[in-house]
């Protein structure tokens, strides 16, 4: 067992706990849909990927901080999960954290703001209302959250954030100024949404002119919010038109230069 690197126990519904063993070489551990698993022990400090989806765990052990090589942690539909360890930031190389469907999870450790590698954070279907300022985030999902009513103004400081999913956040009433590099915002079905920041974003970098912002089925948007969104869309269209014009000019110059060089060669 010393050389075991991959262990798949998916769907072992009779499994209630793991033996306290040390698998020194284990990189991937899959415990998905072990629906009666209530306790998780760190059986390898070399784990790279850990699947705990659909288990009955209520909390993670404090010795999770030993998983200093963990990059991906999946806990989708852990409906009994109520909290994460207070020293969660010790998982210094963690890049993906999936807590989708953990409906009893209502908060995240504030120390997560110290995590420098976390890029993907999926919290759809949770009860979380406050997100620590994690500067490395690129993808954040809060959809189907029935508790959150507003986003922190600090969200505009998440300079790496490119994808923000707020679908069906039915209590959300306002959206603050967004990060300038955001490529996709989905607010479909935010039925209580009334206001958005003016401006919606400080500026639009030319490389983001193809960004997508969705506000369908947001029936309570006030007049000002609608005007802000319309203005934002018009700016995007103008930038796209300008970019297309510049591209056509470059193509035209390139073709002309090619024809000239061809004639000289002849």
Query: Does residue 264 form part of some domain?
Result: no
Query: Does residue 263 form part of some domain?
Result: no
Q: What are phi and psi of 113, to 5 degrees?
A: -65, -15
Which domain range does residue 217 map to? Answer: 6-240
* Residues 173-224: tens digit of each pLDDT: 999 999 988 989 999 999 999 999 988 876 555 445 567 899 999 999 999 9
Residue 38 has a pLDDT of: 94
End-to-end CA distance of the chain: 73
Query: Does residue 260 form part of some domain?
Result: no
Q: Is residue 118 very low, low, confident or very high in pLDDT (cuts 50, 70, 90)? A: very high
Q: Which two tokens stand for residue 134?
A: 């994690």
Q: Looking at the predicted structure, is the pLDDT value of residue 100 above 90?
A: yes
Q: Which residue has the tokens 């300022």?
A: 133
Residue 262 has a pLDDT of: 47
> Secondary structure of 84-118 in the HEC alphabet?
CCCCHHHCCCCCEEECCCCCCCCCCCHHHHHCCCC
Query: Does residue 195 form part of some domain?
Result: yes
CA 159 – CA 138 distance, rounded (Å): 8
Q: Looking at the predicted structure, is the pLDDT value of residue 11 above 50?
A: yes
Q: Looking at the predicted structure, is the pLDDT value of residue 266 above 50?
A: no
Residue 34 has a pLDDT of: 97
pTM of the model: 0.87
Average pLDDT of every residue of the chain: 88
Residue 37 has a pLDDT of: 96
Query: Does residue 72 form part of some domain?
Result: yes
Q: Is residue 240 very low, low, confident or very high in pLDDT (cuts 50, 70, 90)? A: low
Query: Does residue 257 form part of some domain?
Result: no
On whether the CB atoms of residues 157 and 135 are closer than 8 A, the answer is: yes
CA 172 – CA 62 distance, rounded (Å): 34
Q: What percent of the chain has pLDDT over 90?
A: 70
CATH number at residue 28: 3.80.10.10
Say which residue, 206 or 172, is predicted with more confidence: 172
- Tally the domains of the chain: 1
Query: Does residue 262 form part of some domain?
Result: no
Q: Looking at the predicted structure, is the pLDDT value of residue 23 above 80?
A: yes
Query: Does residue 136 form part of some domain?
Result: yes
Residue 124 has a pLDDT of: 97
On whether the CB atoms of residues 108 and 83 are closer than 8 A, the answer is: no
For the residues of the chain, what is the DSSP string, one character each? -TT--EEE-TT-TT---------TT--EEE-TT-TT--------TT-SEEE-TT---SB--GGGGG-TT--EEE-TT-TT--B--TTGGG-TT--EEE-TT-TT-----GGGGG-SS--EEE-TTS--------TT--EEE-TT-SS-----GGGGG-TT--EEE-TT-TT--EE-PBPTT--EEE-TT-TT--EE-SSSBS---GGGTT-EEE-TT-TT--HHHHHHHHHHHHHHHHHHHHHHHHHHHHHHHHHHHHHHHHHHH-
């Amino acid at each position: 067992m010393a050389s075991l690197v991959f262990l798949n126990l998916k769907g072992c519904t009779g499994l209630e706990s793991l033996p306290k063993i040390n698998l020194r070489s284990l990189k991937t551990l899959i415990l998905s849909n072990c629906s009666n698993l209530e306790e998780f022990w760190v059986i390898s400090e070399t784990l790279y990927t850990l699947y705990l989806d659909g288990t009955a765990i209520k909390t993670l052990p404090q010795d999770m901080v030993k998983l200093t090589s963990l990059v991906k942690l999946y806990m989708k539909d852990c409906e009994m999960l109520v909290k994460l360890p207070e020293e969660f930031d010790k998982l210094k190389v963690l890049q993906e954290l999936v807590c989708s469907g953990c409906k009893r999870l209502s908060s995240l450790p504030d120390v997560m703001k110290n995590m420098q590698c976390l890029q993907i954070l999926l919290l759809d279907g949770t009860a979380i209302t406050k997100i620590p300022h994690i500067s490395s985030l690129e993808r954040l999902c809060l959809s189907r959250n029935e508790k959150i009513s507003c986003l922190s103004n600090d969200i505009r400081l998440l300079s790496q954030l490119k994808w923000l999913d707020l679908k069906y956040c039915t209590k959300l009433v306002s959206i603050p100024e967004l990060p300038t590099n955001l490529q996709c915002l989905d607010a479909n079905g935010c039925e209580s949404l009334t206001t958005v920041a003016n401006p919606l974003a400080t500026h639009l970098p030319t490389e983001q002119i193809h960004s997508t912002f969705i506000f369908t089925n947001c029936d309570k948007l006030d007049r000002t919010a609608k005007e802000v969104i319309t203005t934002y869309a018009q700016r995007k269209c103008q930038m796209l038109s300008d970019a297309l014009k510049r591209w056509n000019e470059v193509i035209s110059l390139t073709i002309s230069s090619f024809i000239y060089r061809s004639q000289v060669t002849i």
